[in-house]
């Protein structure tokens, strides 16, 4: 008995790009909503420590 695996590579690629775009948009919205230059340590660890 053979097992067939069917995938739609172009749809999976499009979904990956969409997920990346959504992540980038979410990051931008968090930065805009806070009004701060530094929101977390990953933005600027040294700057966060100083402020």
pTM for the complete prediction? 0.58
pLDDT at 28: 84
Measured CA to CA, the distance from residue 19 to residue 26 in angstroms comes to: 10
pLDDT at 51: 59
pLDDT at 14: 94
pLDDT at 42: 64
Over residues 3-14, mean pLDDT: 85
Q: Domain-by-domain residue ranges, the chain? A: 9-49
pLDDT at 48: 65
Q: Tens digit of pLDDT for each residue in 22-44? A: 999 998 888 788 777 676 666 66
What is the DSSP annotation of 15-28?
HHHHHHHHHHHHHH
């Amino acid at each position: 008995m053979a097992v067939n695996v069917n995938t739609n590579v172009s749809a999976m690629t499009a979904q990956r790009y969409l997920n990346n775009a959504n992540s980038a948009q979410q990051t931008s919205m968090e930065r805009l909503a806070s009004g701060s230059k530094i929101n977390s340590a990953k933005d600027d660890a040294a700057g966060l420590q100083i402020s």
